[in-house]
Structure 1
Amino acid sequence: MQILDSILLSHGSGGVESQNLITELFYPLLEGCVIGGGEDAGITDSKSGKFAVSTDGYVVSPLFFAGGDIGKLSVCGSCNDVAMMGAKARYLSASFMLEEGFLIADLKCIVESFAKILKQSEAKLISADTKVLPKGALDKIFITTTAIGEFLHPHLNLSAFRIPQDCAIIVSGNIGTHGAVIYSNREGINLHSDLQSDCALLYPILEPLFKEEIRLYALRDATRGGIASVLNEWANASNIGIEIEEAHLPILPQVRGICELLGFEAYNLANEGMCVLCVAKEDATKALEILHSQGAKDAAYIGCTMTQNPKKVILRTTFGAKRFLDYPSGELLPRIC
């Protein structure tokens, strides 16, 4: 598929348009320069050891939402990306882009939140930058963070490109929660709910799995594009089929209500404190027990990988029918993370 003449909002949604932009523009022009393989974080080996590195930009709107804000989000997001490769975030760098006229009180709240979750992660800020742009040049504040993660469990070899057939697919919590919160908090949309974003650090609930040497093949935090994007990326990367059970998907009633009201599907909505795990079927029950013991009480088995329908994700509905679960297309939620 040929990319368009100009950038659309949908190119940043995490769906099919995002994938086309990356594979048809960035990868060809950067050929020979890229050592990452399309994972959540790149892996680098040096004399001092093996590290995972991830960079991400955060442009969420609204800046403050139920359960978090852009400061918390920017730390959790990059720390979670290296965690998806099995690494614990040790260092962070950050860039704060500020609009002229942005309230100092709001900036203070954001930096306090940033600092609080950074301390929880046990990572250290080793470099930072601030820039101020004229009013109208950007919308209030954008934050970019880079995380460097250390591999404390060298037996891990996680990759979306080496997922075998007949494995269990597990989610660590409810799906679509962050996206639903952002919509219900969005300016001009008057939805009253006690729903809070799932924005949280993931390494603490995953480390016991690493220590127990559960046979993990891949991890991915389901941010932009939700689990629909994650599962389609895995199916394409490893040339496998994936079938999931709609009845097994943990979705909060408030999220279902928002989706029904606004015509969305929870599989396409972002999460910021939930990940998808590909686990050996023999270890799936133990993996769930560990996740539940770590506070991930809504973790659930949702499906499996298979030989049939390679590069496709099949959703078995609650009525027993089957349909393809495709990449999200278009722009559901601008400024989601």
Structure 2
Amino acid sequence: GDGIFINTAGVGVVAGDRTISPTEVQVGDVVLVNGDIGRHGIAIMAVREGLMFETAIESDSAPVAEEVLSLLEAGIEVHCLRDLTRGGLASALNEIAVAANLGIRLDERAIAVRDDVQGACEILGFDPLYLANEGRFVAFVPPDQVQAALECLGDGAAEIGVVTETSKPPVTMMSEIGSLRTVDLLSGEQLPRIC
């Protein structure tokens, strides 16, 4: 080859002997997110396209290892974890639901989207559920461990949904006005690939 080749590898230790995977998700599990969503996608797009908003929208980019280790060290029975980078919250949850062969019901009122991000999405025609995030992840935990898990995750973490029996479509969301909305996988890309 006559170009630059970059290889990235992760080296680490598997923490504990538990399996954390979509196949471990169970009916009744609660879906938690560690903060507001959509900031990274809007922040990157604003820089790329030279867009200016009333407030500076900064990326949510942050390491998540400390929060994840906090969950594990507290003995939380984490069934599944997934970062919300590519495809955002909606894509991650659809992939998990399909792999687990279960449904997920979200509550729109519980999903934090900052007002400036929501405003930018409305102007640009984006849905924050599909925007990339760099410091956000979802965790699936049993209902009796939700409070302890939220304490591990700290400010901004929230309970946003619950796992249900298999459903078609696999992911639905109760809207702010009380209607049930399908949350599909995104067809194509909402934004050009960020990283």
TM range (shorter): over 0.9
- Residues 82-161 of structure 1: matches in 2 within 5 Å? 133=3, 144-151=7-14, 153-161=15-23
Identify unmatched segments of 5+ residues in structure 2.
Answer: none
Alpha-carbon RMSD across the aligned residues, in angstroms, is 1.9
- Is 1:249 equivalent to 2:111 in the alignment? yes
Offset from partner CA, 1:42-89 (integer Å, 9 cap, x none): xxxxxxxxxxxxxxxxxxxxxxxxxxxxxxxxxxxxxxxxxxxxxxxx
Instruction: Give the distance between the partners of 2:50 and 2:19, measured in 1 at CA.
Output: 45
Offset from partner CA, 1:200-238 (integer Å, 9 cap, x none): 111112212111110100000001110101110011001
Instruction: Give the distance between the partners of 2:135 and 2:50, measured in 1 at CA.
Output: 26
**AA aligned opposite 1:319:** I
Offset from partner CA, 1:311-336 (integer Å, 9 cap, x none): 61001100000011000112221131
Instruction: Quote how far apart the aligned CAs of 1:310 are.
Output: 5.3
Looking at CA atoms only, which structure, 1 or 2, has the larger radius of gyration? Answer: 1
3-state DSSP class of the match of 1:247? helix
- Is 1:309 equivalent to 2:167 in the alignment? yes
- The 8 Å contact of residues 235 and 310 in structure 1, kept in 2 or not, is answered as no
Instruction: Give the distance between the partners of 2:13 and 2:61, measured in 1 at CA.
Output: 22
3-state DSSP class of the match of 1:242? strand
Instruction: Give the distance between the partners of 1:249 and 1:273, measured in 2 at CA.
Output: 15
Task: Select 2:80's aligned residue among 218, 226, 240.
Answer: 218
- The 8 Å contact of residues 182 and 336 in structure 1, kept in 2 or not, is answered as yes
- Is 1:300 equivalent to 2:158 in the alignment? yes
Instruction: Give the distance between the partners of 2:99 and 2:164, measured in 1 at CA.
Output: 14
Distance 1:336 1:132, change over 3 A: same
Task: Select 1:260's aligned residue among 97, 112, 122.
Answer: 122
Deviates further, 301-310 or 266-275: 301-310
- The 8 Å contact of residues 105 and 171 in structure 2, kept in 1 or not, is answered as yes
- Is 1:321 equivalent to 2:179 in the alignment? yes
**AA aligned opposite 1:231:** L
* Identity in percent: 37
Distance 1:205 1:284, change over 3 A: same
Distance 1:328 1:319, change over 3 A: same
3-state DSSP class of the match of 2:112? coil
Distance 1:263 1:187, change over 3 A: closer
Task: Select 1:330's aligned residue among 168, 188, 193.
Answer: 188
3-state DSSP class of the match of 2:152? helix
- The 8 Å contact of residues 236 and 311 in structure 1, kept in 2 or not, is answered as no
2:92 is matched with: 230
Higher RCO (CA-CA < 8 Å; seq separation 6+): 2
Distance 1:319 1:182, change over 3 A: same
Report how many aligned residue pairs link the two structures: 195
3-state DSSP class of the match of 1:260? helix
Instruction: Quote how far apart the aligned CAs of 1:167 are.
Output: 0.4
- Is 1:174 equivalent to 2:174 in the alignment? no
Instruction: Quote how far apart the aligned CAs of 1:271 are.
Output: 0.5
Instruction: Quote how far apart the aligned CAs of 1:132 are.
Output: 7.3
Normalised to the residue count of structure 1, the TM-score between the two structures is 0.55
Instruction: Give the distance between the partners of 1:157 and 1:270, measured in 2 at CA.
Output: 26
Identify unmatched segments of 5+ residues in structure 1.
Answer: 1-130, 134-140
Instruction: Quote how far apart the aligned CAs of 1:285 are.
Output: 1.0
- The 8 Å contact of residues 175 and 271 in structure 1, kept in 2 or not, is answered as yes
Q: Considering fraction of residues, name the structure with more strand.
A: 1
Instruction: Give the distance between the partners of 1:237 and 1:217, measured in 2 at CA.
Output: 13
- The 8 Å contact of residues 169 and 182 in structure 2, kept in 1 or not, is answered as no
Instruction: Quote how far apart the aligned CAs of 1:192 are.
Output: 5.1
Instruction: Quote how far apart the aligned CAs of 1:261 are.
Output: 0.8
Instruction: Quote how far apart the aligned CAs of 1:175 are.
Output: 0.8
3-state DSSP class of the match of 1:220? strand
**AA aligned opposite 1:145:** T
- The 8 Å contact of residues 291 and 299 in structure 1, kept in 2 or not, is answered as yes
